[in-house]
Structures are given as C-alpha cells and as structure tokens.
Amino acid sequence: AATIPRIPSTRLALHHFDTNYSLQLQDRWPSIRVSLLCEQKYGALVNNFACVDHVTQELELQNATDFVSEAAKKVQRLQQGSAVEAERGESVSQEGSGGGRTMTPAETSPLLPSSISSNIKCYTFPRGDITRFRPAWPDTLGFLSYYLMDAASLLPVLALNVQPDDFVLDLCAAPGGKTLALLQTGACGHLAANDVSISRTKRLHQILNSYVPKNIRESVSVTSYDGRDWGELEGGTFHKVLVDVPCTTDRHSVMEESNNIFHRRRTKERQMLPMLQLQLLMAGILATKPGGEVVYSTCSLSQLQNEYVIE
C-alpha cells in the first residue's frame, strides 16, 4: 500500500467513463468526452426579486441571450409550422382513409413543456463564446442580481411545469440553484426544500437570504431529513416533486479532486448510488398527491443512474 503509486480520482473517473460510456454512447462519446473536460460554461439565472430590467439590459449589452425565451420562440415556430402540416395531413387522411388525423410534434413530444414560457430567465453567451459573467451585484434592496449555474440545471425545473399555488417538494435541494429557480416561477403555493446534509442546507439558507425577500422565504420550509423517509413524513402531500438525486456528477468527477466520488475510499458509496437513487425516487413518488407529477434528474450520463432507475 505504501509503494503503489497514488492514482488521482479524476483519472480513475475518466478511465471508468472511457470504459463504460464508449460502449453506451459509441460514436458520440469522443465529442462528449471533450465537453466534459472543457471549462464549465455558466448561465446567469436572473433574480426576479431584484431590479430585473436593469439586470437584463446589462446582460444583453454583453451579447448574452435568454436561452429560455429563445427556446420558447423555437417551440412556437415549430408549433406554427406543424399546425400547417397537420392541416395538410388531415385533409390528405380524410381523402385517403376516411378521416384520420395527423398528430403535430407539439402534441406528441414530451420535450415541449408549457412552462418553457415561464417567468424563468437565464442568460448565456453564444456557442463558442467562453466569456465569464462577472460576480452578481446587490441591488438597492440588497438582493443579488443573478445566480450563476449550469444552464442545463434549469431543465428539470422547466420540466416540472409548476402551476399557480402548487405545493412543491425539492427533495435533494442543496446547494439551492434549483430551489431558487422554482421560486423564480412565482407559482409555488408552498415550497419544501430538503437535503440530508445540514452543512449544505446552511448554504441553501445563505442563498435564500441573498436572493429572496423575507415574505417569500416564509413560504419555503427548509429541512434536513433523510429524503428516503419523506413518504412516511409527508405522504401524498405535493402536486409537484423534484428528485434531483446524488450521483457521480460526471464533470466534477473528471475535473476536481476534492470530494470526488471516485476516491478509493468512496468505492462502496459509489456502487450503492443506484439503490440510493431508487429509494429517493420511490419516496418522491409516495410524497406526491394522486395525479401529481415527479421529475427525476441527475448530472450523470450513466444508464445505471438514469434509465435503469426509472425502469
């Protein structure tokens, strides 16, 4: 043990991904591998509780665009185009087969949530532009103007499609980016933000204090329970539940030595992740009202942590 060279956790992670993802992703893996090893590109989630107009003007002057509204425009164009195609298809179907109807992409695709036109705004620089946003600044009320996060982290929040007065549970909430994004919708009747780690929930409290007015914070309950027990604690309570589970966090695993899940001492913990994820998902389902919705998400490419957990 004393003489074997110490292999960095990041190298162990990359070797693991090369072995597994090359089989899973095949021809796509080389380009995805490059992306994982590139510097992370952040988005700026605009804080609607700050002076929004001033913030958006400054971001647009830097040549950043709101990717959420841009996506909404693309969806609208697709829906308009597909509606025309549907009319043509319907008339053809009626002529040829007695009244069949062609479904539009907007009707058949689960990737076009109505919440894409929500109050959430997140600015990113164009593809190929690696400019970094400057640190957020406080407005006259002392609230920070935007929150820097991986823009892809907003996708689970958009998919959750929160409606006015929904009771929402963020089961694994810390450090708080998705919790903050949920509050930006302005739709949560009540938001429960939970994380098993007390130190991480302290960070969540700091974010809420820096970005959210007191009267809004009062509608948020922050707890540190084991998420696996939530179905027993508050079963059948929530309209929407976000289960953003602990995972191998692939980019962090290949870039950072600190707190790396591929450290040899954490091998057993890593191997048990799919079981933990399954237990958290089950707890999230049990916490949901009949007819409610659950979104399960990870920041991993692993089928073991994604498709197989769902199956």
Which residues are part of the catalytic machinery? Answer: 299
Coil vs helix vs strand at 41: coil
**Rounded Cα gap, residues 191 and 216, in angstroms:** 10
Write the burial class of residue 291 (CB in 10 Å: 0-12 exposed, 13-18 middle, 19+ buried).
exposed
244 annotated as ligand-binding? yes
Give the torsion through C-alpha atoms of 55, 59, 64, 70, to 10 deg: 20
174 annotated as ligand-binding? yes
> What angle (nearest 5°) sits at the alpha carbon of residue 108, between those of residues 99 and 117?
125
**Rounded Cα gap, residues 68 and 262, in angstroms:** 34
Which residue type, as a one-letter code, is found at position 47? N
Strand 122-124 vs strand 65-66: parallel, antiparallel, or unpaired? Answer: antiparallel
> What angle (nearest 5°) sits at the alpha carbon of residue 197, between those of residues 191 and 199?
100
53 annotated as ligand-binding? no
172 annotated as ligand-binding? yes
177 annotated as ligand-binding? yes
175 annotated as ligand-binding? yes
Residues that constitute the known binding site:
172-178, 195, 226, 244
Residues that constitute the known binding site for S-adenosyl-L-methionine:
172-178, 195, 226, 244
